[in-house]
Amino acid sequence: MEKATEGILMKNRSYNSSLTAGYKLYTDNFKKIFKASWLWAVLYAAACSILGTLSSIELPRFVLMTMASTSSEMPLYENPEYITICLSFLAVIIIGGIIEITFYSSGVSLLRQHQENASIPVPNTWFYFDKSSVWRTIKAAFFYFIIALIISIPFGLIFVFFLKDMLADPSSNILSLCITGLAILLIVCLAIPLTFSCTKYLLSHKGNFWKILVQAYPTGFRHYGYIFVVSVVCMFIVFIVSFITSLPAYILSEANYIANIGLLQGDPLGMPDYITTLTIITFFVCGFIQAYIRMTMLFPTYYMYGAIETQEKEILENKLKNEQDLYRIN
């Protein structure tokens, strides 16, 4: 009986059980998840590849060469080539972000089906696109972005206000670090209950975003500790694994930067002719792997949501039972 209910969503679990069940669901069904999401992972990896090449080769090379040139008095920010690189950089970030959200939505769609059938089905096609899940995931991601922006702007203004003093007195960097730390802490504190609210919205087939958000936020706040532990453990695992799998890209970027610094000082470039190709391939592979690493966070969060919903239901049932018992006594 225990085995039969092991994978169901609505079950009272400890945070450890939610983590274990989530990662087990992900690993046991990885082939199905891969079939539903591989195309979006490839597109996201391509965006990472372009972004990595621009940031680690093209942009540093152009900036350093411009700094070394004495023939041009044109400011860097007015140079058409520099503007083109920066606009390309921004465009890839935006497009890559949309692709990444669409990639995560394929996982959300599979979890919505698991919620109904207690199993993840095999996708019927190699191109999987669930319009409802994509739209809900985009709205939830955009909301997180707006919240972070709203909270960060005041702290950013304070940071700029003290920038002059920081430049005059390097010891005042402590103040900027404190301001940044407070901003991050405030964002995390507000976002933790929102994890439950957004998960509830993502798994719902109907319902207004704001209505679900407002109604579910107090529930998330009551289970603050539970959500905090699951979220922190998931983020820690993702950070460690992402860091390890990204080391080749980090090393390559650093090597490119050092080579360009040496070139600026009159040394030979010291990098092979195929460095651009190697950079493109490295960032592509790292981006592809990291997409699936970050997707793992959805699955423990899924069971966390189910456990909280079950606990809330049990609390309500116990409350009603106590009221009925009290009514009978009176």
The vertex-67 CA angle with 65 and 72, nearest 5°, equals: 90
DSSP 170: G
Q: What is the mean pLDDT of the segment spanning 4-26?
A: 86
The encoded tokens of residue 177 equal 């670090």
| Structure-derived torsion over alpha carbons of residues 53, 56, 57, 60, reported in degrees to the nearest 10 | 140
pLDDT at 159 over 70: no
Instruction: Output the six-digit token pair for 231.
Output: 């979220």
Distance from C-alpha of 248 to C-alpha of 56, rounded to nearest angstrom:
13
- Asked which of 9-13, 57-61, 187-191 is least confident by mean pLDDT, the reply is 57-61
Whole-number pLDDT of residue 8: 84
Check residues 237 and 327 and name the one with the higher pLDDT. Answer: 237
Q: Where are the alpha helices (DSSP H) in 29-130?
A: 30-53, 59-68, 80-117
Q: Does residue 314 carry a pLDDT above 60?
A: yes
In the numeric block, the tokens 């955009």 are attached to 142
Q: Characterise 266 by phi-psi region: left (phi > 0), alpha (psi -120 to 50), beta (else).
A: left
Q: What number of other Cβ atoms are within 10 A of residue 37's Cβ? A: 24
DSSP per position, 20-45: HHHHHHHHHTHHHHHHHHHHHHHHHH
Interatomic CA distance for residues 287 and 164, integer angstroms: 38
The confidence band for 165, taking pLDDT boundaries of 50, 70 and 90, is low
Alpha helices by DSSP H, listed for the chain, are 15-28, 30-53, 59-68, 80-117, 131-161, 163-168, 173-203, 209-222, 224-264, 275-295, 298-329
Q: Which two tokens stand for residue 116?
A: 């109904």
DSSP secondary structure letter of residue 121: P
Write down the domain spans for the chain. Answer: 29-223+247-295
Q: Hey, what are 9's tokens?
A: 């969503």
pLDDT tens digit sequence for 180-225? 667 767 777 777 898 999 999 999 888 888 899 889 999 999 999 9
Structure confidence at residue 4 as a pLDDT band (50, 70, 90): very low
Q: What is the SS3 assignment for 214? A: helix
315, amino acid identity:
I
Helix axes 275-295, 30-53, angle to 10 degrees: 140
Arithmetic mean of pLDDT, 159-184: 62
pTM for this structure? Answer: 0.82
Torsion sign across C-alpha atoms 70, 76, 82, 86: positive
Residue pair 249/52 in contact (Cβ under 8 Å)? The answer is yes
CA distance 310 to 305: 9
* Residue with the two structure tokens 């709205």: 139
Q: Check if the beta carbon of residue 28 is closer than 8 Å to that of residue 296.
A: no
Degrees to nearest 5, angle at CA 141 with 136 and 142 = 100
Place of tokens 């050092």: 258
- Tell me how long the chain is: 330
- Give the C-alpha separation, 138 to 252, whole Å: 32
